[in-house]
Structure 1
Amino acid sequence: MVNLFHRAAVPAVGVACLVVLTACGGGGGNDDADKSGKGEVASLDSPAAGGGSASASADPDADRPQIRLDSTNEEVNRMYDAWLACLKEHGAAEKYKRKPNDPSVLACKGKEPLDPPELDPAKNPDYADDTRAMVKCMKGHGIKAMVVNGQWGLETGDEINRPYYNEYVIDCQVKAFGGDK
């Protein structure tokens, strides 16, 4: 039994997700990585009526790029390419040893992609049922999937090399986690 999880099935933790994405989809180095302009303009908080700051209730993730259940690997890779380019531009040293308070991480927080909220057990009250539906859907496509530690996984690493694997993952995510059960 191999615990291999698809990029969006496990809540991503920064670059750890990138490693899996790179293995699944390739990409990288795309000059037109982020044409949306999100996160490019700094904003200032306006003072609240009592002279205090209104930023205390602001959502810190409001301007971050949002991965959708139906996002393709290419779309996700473009989002991560833009974030990694920002990190590099701000002097990020080693790829996999950045701390949350690293200046480059703080400077690029607004470009770090967010996983779909449906794939976050803390935000999705139906996560366990949706995970079982994901496994059932993958098995319906001939992919040997199973529930492992509350997440969906693959029985062997060879499953990721099956024809149309990435398309099946997106299809099953939308069906299982998107409410189309």
Structure 2
Amino acid sequence: MLNLFHRTAVATAVGTAGLLLLTACGGVGGNDDAGKGSDGEVASLTTPAADGGSASASADPDAGRPQIRLDSTNEEVDRMYQAWEACLKEHGAQEKYKRKPNDPSVLACKGKEPLNPPELDPSKNPDYSDDVREMVKCMKGHGIKALVYQGNWALETGDEMNRPHYDEYELQCQVKAFGGDK
């Protein structure tokens, strides 16, 4: 059974493999700093220290990272991941399955790693369970065999992704279910 995260991961891996050679570290994706005089560093806040000096406190570690929206198309998501993958490669990253979180290339490109929509994170969305059920209902309304599986939505078979207009319906249902009026 495939859920959105698995489908996105598969699509991203396939798309990234094919287009990685065509992409440069900057220039694609939502947060391109190229040509703007930015050195790509994460901003930090300076706050007064107890001794009267100043202490540097890190800003939100996710600030400035490309944000995937509920209504982002597969092509938009692929471009964001391609930019991140190209940056990793430029910084000497090894094969994707061998990367460690403290790998220098991962740290150097952290600001380009896309963030998933917060609405799709059960820890950030208090209505997640209801939204999952709404997603399944919407997909079934378009004739796509979907179900709730281990707290997430899933497809009965991978063949469901081959149905005409699947991507269009998935995007519509995702926006309706997870981003609808609550």
Aligned AA for 1:55?
A: A
Q: Is the 8 A contact 2:28 2:79 kept in 1?
A: yes
Partner of 2:78: 77
Q: Is the 8 A contact 1:18 1:80 kept in 2?
A: no
Q: Structure 1: any 5+ residue segments left out of the alignment?
A: 11-15
Partner of 1:47: 46
Partner of 2:32: 37
Q: Deviations over 1:78-110 (max 9, x none)?
A: 000000000000000112221111111111111
Q: Is the 8 A contact 1:33 1:78 kept in 2?
A: yes
Change (3 A) 1:43 1:135: closer
Change (3 A) 1:135 1:27: farther
- If asked which structure has higher relative contact order (CA below 8 Å, sep 6+), I would say 1
Change (3 A) 1:93 1:22: closer
Q: Is the 8 A contact 2:80 2:114 kept in 1?
A: yes
Change (3 A) 1:147 1:59: same
Find the aligned partners of 1:173 and 1:27 in 2 and give their Cα distance.
27
Change (3 A) 1:126 1:27: farther
Structure number, greater radius of gyration: 2
Aligned AA for 2:19?
A: G
* CA displacement at 1:47 relative to structure 2: 3.2
Partner of 1:21: 12
Change (3 A) 1:157 1:91: same
| Structure 1 or 2: more strand by fraction | 2
Q: Is the 8 A contact 2:139 2:146 kept in 1?
A: yes
TM alignment of 1:113-124, pairs within 5 A: 113-124=114-125
| Structure 1 or 2: more helix by fraction | 2
Match 1:4 to one of 2, 5, 15: 2
3-state SS of paired residue (2:76): helix
Q: Structure 2: any 5+ residue segments left out of the alignment?
A: none
TM score, norm. by length of structure 2: 0.83
Q: Size of the alignment, in residue pairs?
A: 171
TM score, norm. by length of structure 1: 0.84
Find the aligned partners of 1:138 and 1:25 in 2 and give their Cα distance.
27
**Identity %, equivalent residues:** 63
